Amino acid sequence: MMVGNPLLGRIQNREAKVGVVGLGYVGLPLGMAFAEAGFPVTGLDVDQRKIDKIAKGESYIKHIPSAPLAELTNAGKLKATNDFAKARELDCVVICVPTPLTASREPDMSFIVATGEALAPYVRPGQLFILESTTYPGTTEEVLKPLLEKNGLKAGVDFFLAFSPEREDPGNKGFNTKTIPKVVGGYSPACLEVATALYGSALKEVVPVSSTRVAELAKLLENIYRCVNIAMVNEMKMLCDRMNVDVWEVIQAASTKPFGFQPFYPGPGLGGHCIPIDPFYLTWKAREFEFHTKFIELAGEVNWQMPYYVVQRTMEALNQNKKVLNGAKVLCIGAAYKKDIDDHRESPSLRVMTLLKEKGADISYHDPFVKELHKGHGFNMEMKSVPLDPETLNQYDAVMILTDHSHIDYNELVQRSNIVVDTRNATKAVTQGREKIIKA
C-alpha cells in the first residue's frame, strides 16, 4: 500500500523535486512558479533550443521576461534537460505537452503517448504524475495511466496520478499562472490530496474536484463556452454584412446592458491551442456514448469556415477595384492568433494565408512578434515577416488585418493602402479613407 505522508512532507517543506515535461507556453511559466515557490525544478523537453535558452537565462516566449528566468537558472533553482532518465530522481512530474487535432479533426494523443512511454521506465513508488494537457474526459485514466503502469506499479496504490487543466492566457496582464485558480482532479482521494498540496504550495488558489474526468471536462466546458458564443457572433457578422449593418456597433450597443449579456467579438476564425480544438475533442468522445453534440459541432463548423468567408470578402473587395485575387499582391497583417503576442498555434491567419496562396495570390505578411513561419500543422509555406513600410503599402492590391497588433498606425495604413480588409475592427478610429475599408 502506498504511503503518501513522506511526499506530502517533502512538498510542505519545499524539498520535493518537481519536473515539468514540455517547456512551452504552459510548462515554462508553471516551472518558474514552482521554482519561485522554493522547489527545485527540472524541465524536460525534446527541443534542444529551449534547453539551451533556459541554460542561458533567456526567455523564448514574448510575455515571459528573461530577467526572472535568469535569476532562477543562475541560482540553480530551474534547469532543463532532454534526458528523461532524470525523471527517476523527481518526486512530482507535471506533463504539459500539446494535444492537437489530426488532419481529420480527431484527437492527436501522440504527444501524451510519447511522453508516457518516455517516463514509463523511470516510474518509482511514491511519485506524483499530473497531466495538464487539454484533452477529452478519460484521457488521464485511459491513455496515460496504462503507460505509467507498464512496469507493474499501480496508480493510486504505488504512485499518485492527477489531472489539472492548464489555464494560460498569453498576453493577459490581469492574470498569470500564479493567480489563475487551479482546478485539480485526482485518480483517488489520496492522489487528489497530494496534487492539491503541490499546487497549493505555489499558486494562489486550488479548486479540488471529485475526479480526473470532472477536471478534464471542466476545461472543455470553459473553452466550448467561448467557442459557441464566438460562433454565434461570427454568424451575426455575416448576416450584418448582408444587411449593411455594422456588427461592431451592434455589439457595442448591446454591451451597455448591465446584466444578462457578455460581449464576444467576431474575427477571421479561432486561434490558440484550446478554443478551436476543444469542441472536436468532446464531440469525438461523445460518439463513444452514442451521443451527437449537434450544437457544439455546429459552432465548431461556423468558426472553421470563417477563413473561407474572409477570403471571399477579399475577392469581392478586389473585384470592386477591378482586380482579381489570382496574381494579386496581398499583405497580411498579423500571424499570431491574437494581438501583441508571439503565439501562432492554430492561428486563423495561417489558414487565411494558405487559402489565399491556393487561389493564386502573391502573399506577404508582417508580424513583429512572429518573425518566421515554417511548415507544419496544415501550413505548407516557409515565410519571413516583411517590414511594414508606409512607402510601399500602395504596392499591394490589398492589405488584410488579421491580427490587430497595437504598434501599428492604422490611420496611416489606411491612407497609404489601396484596399484594407479589416477582420478585427482595428480601423474603428480611422477618420480618413474609410471608403477603402472592407469589414470582413
Phi, psi at 23, each rounded to 5°: -105, 50
353 close to 365: Cβ distance less than 8 angstroms? yes
CA–CA distance, 215 with 208 (Å, rounded to integer): 9
β-pairing verdict for 362-366 and 372-373: unpaired
CA separation for the pair 108, 360 (Å, rounded)? 31
For 165-205, strand residue ranges (E) read 182-186
Is 51 strand, coil or helix?
Answer: helix
Nine-digit cell at 334? 498579423
As to burial, measured by CB atoms within 10 angstroms (0-12 exposed, 13-18 middle, 19+ buried), residue 124 is middle
What's the order of all strands across the beta sheet hosting 420-422?
362-366, 329-333, 398-401, 420-422, 437-439
Of 189, 187, 165, give the one whose Cα is nearest residue 94. 165
Instruction: Provide the annotated active-site residues.
Output: 274
